[in-house]
Structure 1
Amino acid sequence: MLCQLGACQFTVAPFNMHETDHEAGASFASHEVLGRMPDLEFVGEAAETWTIRGRLFPERFGGLGEMANLHAMRRTGSAQFFMRGDGVPMGWVVIERVTEKSTYIGPNGVGRVIEFEANLKRSGSPNAAGIFNALMDIFR
């Protein structure tokens, strides 16, 4: 397993990822002081984001069902648990956007190669009812 995002498991095949970006930062309030550089006051963590990029080969390995699950989780707007493949928990995230690019379109209108990008943003953990509702929305 490469990583787990809610009900979606990214593996080598059929639903893979080949690249990921992670961005984290800090927020500071700026206080102007006459005659010198502004004082910066730490006010907390800035937004933390991940970008997952992958490539599907539906004719050879499948993966369209997993892509549909990813979109279903995005549509719920619910926080999903995100875990790296080595078991390190990355925390709760929401799926802000999923972008797909299909190339080498087959006679059925489905790309033979589908590249996707999923943008995640850290969020607070949902309550137990929120987790249950998110799972029910995915499997409808």
Structure 2
Amino acid sequence: MTAQTSMMLGSFAFEALGFGYDGVSRSLQTPWAKVQVVNRFNVQQWMGPTSDTVTIRGVLFPVELGGQAQLDGIAAAAISGTPMLLVTGDVAEGVIHGTFTVQSVDEDRSFHTAFGAPQRNAYSIVLERYGDENAVPGGPISILQPILDLFG
């Protein structure tokens, strides 16, 4: 029996049991520059998107349900500087959010066994959109870009 996967970061599957999450937040920055105009209110000029940050929070129970290996794998990908594709949804209706880099992995391990293994690990993963995407986030070109890069 396979667990239901609700989100993927690269090859790491977030599932209902094991490596799960309980919250996702997003911060999108799209600044406007204020341009001074004589005898009028300042006008604004859109500067385009500057950052897209996603934070994933969850609690693992590694002794009972596992999941620590996936979190360690994400930390290893962060150390190696590997950008990863973020996808949410299921097989029938997935949403590709684009390529992200791992900015940080924070862990709060507690309730250790006699052998030192944590029985509870609250974590947060901060992702930031990888800036080498050539199209509007989520647009058709950004979705196809990995395929187009194979022919480039």
2:104 partner letter = R
State the partner residue of 2:102: 95
1:40-59 aligned at under 5 Å gives the runs 40-59=44-63
Q: What TM-score comes out, normalization by structure 2 length?
A: 0.76
Percent identity for Structure 1 against Structure 2: 24
What's the RMSD between the two structures over aligned residues? 1.7
In the alignment, is the contact (CA less than 8 A) between 1:82 and 1:90 conserved in 2?
Answer: yes
Of structures 1 and 2, the one scoring higher in RCO (CA 8 A, sep 6+) is 1
Q: CA deviation at 1:39?
A: 1.6
Which structure has greater strand proportion? Answer: 1
State the partner residue of 2:149: none
Gaps of 5+ in 2: 134-144, 147-152
Gaps of 5+ in 1: 129-140
Q: Which has the larger displacement, 93-102 or 16-25? A: 16-25
Q: CA deviation at 1:110?
A: 2.2
1:66 partner SS: helix
1:6 to 10, 16, 21: 10
Deviations 1:59-90 (A, max 9, x none): 10111211111111111212100000231001
Q: CA deviation at 1:38?
A: 2.1
State the partner residue of 1:138: none
State the partner residue of 2:117: 110
Deviations 1:96-122 (A, max 9, x none): 000000121221222211010000001
2:41 partner SS: strand
| Corresponding residue pairs, total | 127
In the alignment, is the contact (CA less than 8 A) between 1:2 and 1:17 conserved in 2?
Answer: no
Does structure 1 residue 16 correspond to structure 2 residue 20? yes
